C-alpha cells in the first residue's frame, strides 16, 4: 500500500496508475511493483477515512514525523488474514499526514 506524498491519503489503482482519490495526485505503477486492487460491490461500499470524514474520529497522542504535532486521529483495519492482528492507522490532526503501525 502506498500513500499520497501530497495529502497522505491512500493511493488506489485506477487506469493503470496509482491515484489519490482526495487530491488527484497520480504516478505510474512501476514495473515489478505489486499493487492491491480493491473492487466495489453494488450492495456494499467501504470507505477508509476520506476527505472531511475526520470529524468525530477518536484521537490519541502520536507524534507526527512531518510537522511534530502530537495529536492524531486513529482507526483500525483488518488488512491481513483474520488470524493476524489489525493494522492501526493514524492521521495527523494538523497536517493530515497518514501513517500506520503493526503489532
State yes or no: is 84 an active-site residue. yes
State yes or no: is 15 an active-site residue. no
Please name which of 46, 56, 101, 96 lies closest in space to residue 76, comparing C-alpha atoms: 101
pTM attached to this predicted model:
0.47
- pLDDT tens per residue, range 21-53: 888 888 887 665 555 555 555 555 555 444 455
* Domain edges within the chain: 1-46, 50-103
Q: Rounded mean pLDDT of 89-96? A: 91
Of 84, 86, 101, 103, which one is the catalytic site residue?
84
CATH topology for 50-103 is N-terminal domain of TfIIb (2.20.25)
Of 28, 31, 65, 83, which one is the catalytic site residue?
83
pLDDT band at 70 (very low <50, low <70, confident <90, very high): very high
In this prediction, residue 63 carries a pLDDT of 93
- pLDDT tens per residue, range 74-91: 988 887 777 878 888 999
In this prediction, residue 50 carries a pLDDT of 45
Amino acid at each position: 500500500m502506498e500513500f499520497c506524498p501530497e495529502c497522505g491519503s491512500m493511493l488506489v489503482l485506477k487506469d493503470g496508475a496509482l491515484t489519490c482519490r482526495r487530491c488527484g495526485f497520480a504516478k505510474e505503477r512501476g514495473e515489478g511493483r505489486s499493487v492491491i486492487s480493491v473492487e466495489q460491490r453494488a450492495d456494499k461500499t467501504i470507505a477508509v477515512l476520506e476527505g472531511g470524514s475526520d470529524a468525530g474520529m477518536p484521537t490519541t497522542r502520536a507524534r507526527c514525523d512531518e510537522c511534530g504535532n502530537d495529536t492524531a486521529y486513529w482507526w483500525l483495519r483488518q488488512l491481513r488474514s483474520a488470524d493476524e492482528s489489525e493494522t492501526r492507522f493514524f492521521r495527523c490532526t494538523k497536517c493530515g499526514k497518514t501513517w500506520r503501525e503493526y503489532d
